Amino acid sequence: MAQVLEFKLPDLGEGLTEAEIVRWLVEVGDVVAVDQPVVEVETAKAMVEVPCPYGGVVTARFGEEGTELPVGAPLITVAVGERPPSGGGTAGAGSEGSGNVLVGYGTSQAPARRRRVRPDRPVTGAAHGPGAAVPAAVDGRAGDAEAEDGPVPVISPLVRRLARQNGIDLRELTGSGPDGLILRADVEYALRAAAPAGAATPTAEPHARVPQVTSPSLAQATAPRPSATAAPGETRIPLKGVRGAVADKLARSRREIPDATCWVDADATELMRARTAMNAAGGPKISLLALLARICTAALARFPELNATVDAEAREVVRFDHVHLGFAAQTDRGLVVPVVRDAHVRDAESLTAEFARLTEAGRAGTLTPADLTGGTFTLNNYGVFGVDGSTPIINHPEAAMLGVGRIVPKPWVHEGELAVRQVVQLSLTFDHRVCDGGVAGGFLRYVADCVEQPAVLLRTL
């Protein structure tokens, strides 16, 4: 007899707690192979094709195109161990999972939930395909379909943190998500219920239990609460997708990191001349961003305190022996920060090529979660927007960001005389927990010295 396995939306990257279904790649009744992509989803960071770790016959899909699902919500159910009705091959292969890993999700270590299904239960989420001789799919509730392992009430670390910061006991809540999953909306509902009398929140007892939302209405369980009605003259724009992710991350950075900023003007004339000479020698062109990145990695080797993060719970500073360099890139989908892996071992030519590849992928919307996570330091060239200076907001959970303004001709005292030179303003925002001002000032001064005299960099290689 076939066994119905439930495949849930896996963790697709750091800080991502939900994804929107863009396009289904399979229909109910289709035969899928192990690791075959079954759905295309859009997170706040990238478009991703999600492969199913099981081979078999699709018995149900959960969510229509355009629906936003939380991590851990069911995507599809697959009947394995039984030959498909149209002779499309054995569907049992893959019942143990492929072992392939999405970000934060190993199929061999975390197999989909296996359920014993009552034959009289109807299929929910979608209908069976024509002639699909498979058992009825589960309706997503732990009470009606027995599971070998108990339900996980909270998956998102964001939900845990929100509850912890506001003194909400998660054990007192009943989740409105699939299988009783506690969502961020459930914690926010409890917070509104616990608000003082007279506040513009629903009336309820403190730490009120949220009513259980049951299948088949998965859309109701995951639908966002209605926004406030716009007043005359107002336009309300939802903070969702990339814009919402950026807003959450920037707010978290400002809330958690005691940052400070220092800046210096530097004469970039010699750096620009060096780049011109390098590109005149033939071969691939070297970008200015690549030269600045090369300077950054050299500076981080001298001041490793800034290539770090803070583990607040352990009260420890974690330093890295590698530099995964993020860089801010503006795209049609919004601001993204792709990451150049192992930037410290790359030369200027390799850095130029990788910056170009990631920038093009960002514009095309094809960056993967792996391209957008794991950074240890960020370089932000906001000079491309025609501005001289800024106070960068640290890309949480990193410890520092270097900002670079536009390079423009300005009056400058050079070798004791007034001259017109190519001047740039450099800004360093740093987490004051990882170092004091002396280290930050030393880092920035070294960067400025390399910009003014590129030969300084050669002496440290």
Active site residues: 432, 436
68 phi, psi to nearest 5 deg: -100, 125
- The β-bridge partners of 146 are 116
Assess contact for 6 and 70: CB atoms under 8 A.
Answer: no
Distance CA 375, CA 382 (A): 19
Distance CA 208, CA 246 (A): 31
* Torsion angle of the four alpha carbons 304, 401, 357, 271, in this order, in degrees rounded to the nearest 10: -80
Distance CA 256, CA 402 (A): 19
- Nearest 5°: the CA angle 3, 153, 311 is 120
Q: Shortest CA distance to 444 belongs to which of 410, 403, 386, 406?
A: 403
The DSSP secondary-structure symbol of 14 reads T
Distance CA 38, CA 411 (A): 60
- The β-bridge partners of 284 are none
* DSSP assignments along 130-159, one per residue: TT---PPPP-S-TTTSEESS---S---HHH
* Torsion angle of the four alpha carbons 180, 185, 187, 190, in this order, in degrees rounded to the nearest 10: -100
- DSSP element (H, E) containing 76: strand 74-80
The DSSP secondary-structure symbol of 180 reads G
